[in-house]
A and B are shown apart, each in its own frame.
Chain A
Amino acid sequence: MADSFAYPVTDVEASPGITPSQTVGPFFHYALPYDPGPAVAGPDRAGAVTLTGQVLDGQGEPVPDALVEIWQADERGEFVEQSGLYSEVSGDGFRGFGRCATDEHGRYQFRTVKPAGVPTADGRPQAPHIAMSVFARGMLRRVVTRVYFADESEANATDPLLEALDEARRPTLVATADGSGYRFDVRIQGADETVFLDVFAR
């Protein structure tokens, strides 16, 4: 164990600007996850699928204390006006947002739908994808990625983000078929590290 630290403590004033990020820490479980959180789509939604996966650290070990959030359009490419957070999604409802804490094996699972592709801000088409954030103890800020779908190979082939990546890294962003849905693992660090996105540019 490291001895200790002695960071300088000065009297400078805060500068105006964006509030910095800090880790979610180990003790968020009684505050942030909630039972209906992993349900982005209701149980009776036509085309509802599971999106499941594991969060793994740089040693390949599961991360059992991560919080995973997703945000996405619906099957027509529309974004909901009100998400709701703590209540159940109605039978065939959809709220676009989901939150799930990982279990002791680092696993998360959502019930959602595959969205339609939505364009870039300047109008270029993109392949269907879901935005994902992962928060955890030991992560001073979240990591952000996108979940694409293996059965959309034609759309994926011309997606502006996927196209710009090294071919070897593209599969890290593509969820594969898995039972009644898709599987998408998040590898935080290492040779097969997931591509993480800089959405922090201001």
Chain B
Amino acid sequence: MSKIVVPSDPTVALDPPYLFPDYRSTVFRSPSKALVMPPAGLTELTGPKFGEGDVRDTDSDLTAHGDGEPIGERIIVHGRVTDSYGKPVRNTLVEVWQANSAGRYIHQLDQHPAPLDPNFVGAGRCLTDSGGHYRFVTIKPGPYPWRNHDNAWRPAHIHFSLFGRAFTQRLVTQMYFPGDPLFFQDPIYNAVRDEHARKRMISAYDHSVTSPEWATGYRFDIVVGGAEATPFEEVES
């Protein structure tokens, strides 16, 4: 086995706390004891890797999974996945899922009385390219109600799941849209207490990607944190 160097990371994690009582479901689903720092072990410093065999081209076009076009505002969502040193994370798996344009998930537990769209499932995946870029075509999701508090609505969002290069870098997050009027009352978004860090979850409208007479574009860059094992040889080269 090659000698391993574990780089320390220059940035600070600003993840939400486990317990954020405004989001009621956290009350009994949050650890009460302090986390323990494990020794840096190879299991956590490595992670699953994926390849072309794990995705098909059509997996990244969420508008192409039915017999016809889904209803709603067609959008292109793209961005770059980097580590906290700014290095692109290549060939990493990005999985997304979302509500349809009416704010309804194709999930048996979603009881929101809004229509399902026979032409929209709302799940996609892709691999980042050699520059760390990903790109999805989808429909802008609608906001939807939930029962956390009085007249509670989730801002429109797309769920993202990423692996990075190491188990430490695994990230599940949500991408929001600029100017959403529902941010002020959403405890999930606001559970990220640092307001500058919170804004990292909001995509930017990107006219350079907007495609004439076809779809508007949004950019959502993602930074995964966490140490990874770097073979000594690579550090030297």
Q: Tell me if A146 is interfacial: C-beta within 8 Å of chain B.
A: yes
Q: Tell me if A17 is interfacial: C-beta within 8 Å of chain B.
A: yes
B84 touches A140 (CB 8 A): no
Q: Mark B22-63, 1 if CB is under 8 A from A, else 0.
A: 111111111111011111111111111111011000000000
Q: Tell me if A21 is interfacial: C-beta within 8 Å of chain B.
A: yes
B185 touches A6 (CB 8 A): yes
In the assembled complex, the CB of B58 is this many whole angstroms from the nearest CB of chain A, namely 14
- Please indicate the chain A residues that have their CB under 8 angstroms from the CB of B84 in the complex: 17-18, 202
B25 touches A137 (CB 8 A): yes
| Chain B, range 1-22, C-beta contacts under 8 Å to A | 4-6, 9-18, 20, 22
State how many residues of chain A have any CB contact under 8 Å with chain B.
Answer: 92
In the assembled complex, the CB of A104 is this many whole angstroms from the nearest CB of chain B, namely 11
A196 touches B35 (CB 8 A): yes
B30 touches A198 (CB 8 A): no
Q: Tell me if A1 is interfacial: C-beta within 8 Å of chain B.
A: yes
Complex formed: what's the CA distance from A119 to B211 in Å?
51
- Please indicate the chain A residues that have their CB under 8 angstroms from the CB of B35 in the complex: 196-198
Of B68-76, B102-110, B129-137, which binds chain A? B102-110
- Please indicate the chain A residues that have their CB under 8 angstroms from the CB of B126 in the complex: none
In the assembled complex, the CB of B69 is this many whole angstroms from the nearest CB of chain A, namely 20
- Please indicate the chain B residues that have their CB under 8 angstroms from the CB of A141 in the complex: 15-16, 18, 172
B159 touches A31 (CB 8 A): yes
Complex formed: what's the CA distance from A131 to B163 in Å?
14
B39 touches A161 (CB 8 A): yes
B173 touches A133 (CB 8 A): no
Q: Mark B193-237, 1 if CB is under 8 A from A, else 0.
A: 011111111100000000000000000001111110100000000
Contact of B22 among A5, A83, A196 (CB under 8 A): A5
Q: Tell me if B139 is interfacial: C-beta within 8 Å of chain A.
A: no
Beyond known contacts A18-B223, A21-B15, A126-B39: 19 more, CB 8 A cutoff: A2-B24, A15-B196, A18-B13, A18-B225, A19-B222, A21-B16, A25-B159, A118-B41, A120-B39, A120-B42, A122-B40, A131-B44, A138-B24, A138-B30, A140-B15, A161-B39, A189-B30, A198-B37, A200-B226
Show the binding face of A for B, using Cβ within 8 Å: 1-10, 12-32, 57-59, 61, 63, 69, 71-73, 79-87, 95-97, 115, 118-122, 124, 126, 129-131, 133, 135-144, 146, 160-161, 164-165, 188-190, 193-202
